[in-house]
Amino acid sequence: MNNTESKLSKNINQVSSKKTKIKKTSPYKKKVAKTNLTGFLFASPWIIGFLLFSLYPIIKSLYYSFTDFNVFMPPKWVGLANYKELFSDDLFYKSLKNTLFMTLIGTPINLIVGLINAMLLNVKVKGMPIFRTLFFIPSIVPVVASSMLWTWLFNPSCGLINKALGKIGLYQPNWLADPRYTKPALIIMGIWGTGSIMIIFLAALQDIPAQLYEAADIDGAGPWDKFIHVTLPGLAPIMLYQIILSVINNFQYFTQAYVMTGAGSGQYSGVIGGPENSMLFYALYLYHNGFNYLKMGKASAMAWILFIIVAIVTWILIKTSHLWVSYGEGDDNN
């Protein structure tokens, strides 16, 4: 009997202790659940907006890429016909070539100019905040407005650029009508708007420890040696971020070309991409297929090809970044 009573008392004690634990933990769980619910409620506008206006269109565009769809008629399944048509379309390759030019040439030029400006604006002189503001202002000008401004600046007869070139006796190109100069004109315009690149580099420069430069001075390093062995390694993670962002933006290059080609109004004898389609970029050709020619299926196929290209390029950049980017001792870059 004693053994039986002792076992019963132990079981009763265990049950009571479990009930006590449950009572102690249940208010905490309720509080966590309430906090999570509150968070989801605050985030619900974004979540609903993403599901309706981003995720749903993305899924639908994948479906439309396998259909013949012109908005006014129900989509008709055609399988890989849109992709086959694109790979036999000369303008598709022309637009891809122009986009690659802007990505491979425009990206490094913009990054170099942005870095040079950031280094110049990192010097401690009187009135530096004013200079930083002046350099940054062009990047906050709306793209359409800046494109219209530069269209006037590049005017061969009354534009300020050709007038300045004429004053010093240099050749005055017909910037937006000569296919040899259209993309250089766009690159020049892009350099003018590198303020956002500059400001990120400036913040990164100010984050590099001053002790590293002092140690380099003690070792007798010159300005170039300090730039190569201190500044560039310190900027490497930010440089990777800037490269990825610039590559993605250049693959989607659209607004500047759209404005400067007359917004598809046939300014150049009905040619949709400027003289000899030299400004027919991938996103611009995608737009014309979707909204001018009403080939939504073909446009959707172009969008998914662009997504795949950008994803592959971004993956390569990230996977190879460990060769030149260091995040500090103990960090895993793989």
pLDDT in tens, 40-74: 899 999 999 888 888 999 999 999 999 999 988 89
**Percentage of the chain exceeding pLDDT 90:** 66
The angle subtended at Cα 300 by Cα 298 and Cα 306, nearest 5°, is 105
Predicted confidence at residue 22, as pLDDT, reads: 47
Q: Which residue has the tokens 């971004």?
A: 314
What's the CATH number for 81-323? 1.10.3720.10
Angstrom distance (rounded) from CA 218 to CA 208? 17
Predicted confidence at residue 29, as pLDDT, reads: 79
Predicted confidence at residue 268, as pLDDT, reads: 40
Predicted confidence at residue 334, as pLDDT, reads: 47
Burial of 311 (0-12, 13-18, 19+ CB in 10 A): exposed
Predicted confidence at residue 33, as pLDDT, reads: 82
Predicted confidence at residue 326, as pLDDT, reads: 78
Task: Give the sign of the dihedral formed by CA 121, CA 126, CA 132, CA 137.
Answer: negative
pLDDT in tens, 163-190: 999 999 999 999 999 999 999 999 999 9
Predicted confidence at residue 261, as pLDDT, reads: 86
User: What residues in the chain have per-residue pLDDT under 70?
Assistant: 1-26, 263-271, 328-334
**For the whole model, what pTM was predicted?**
0.82
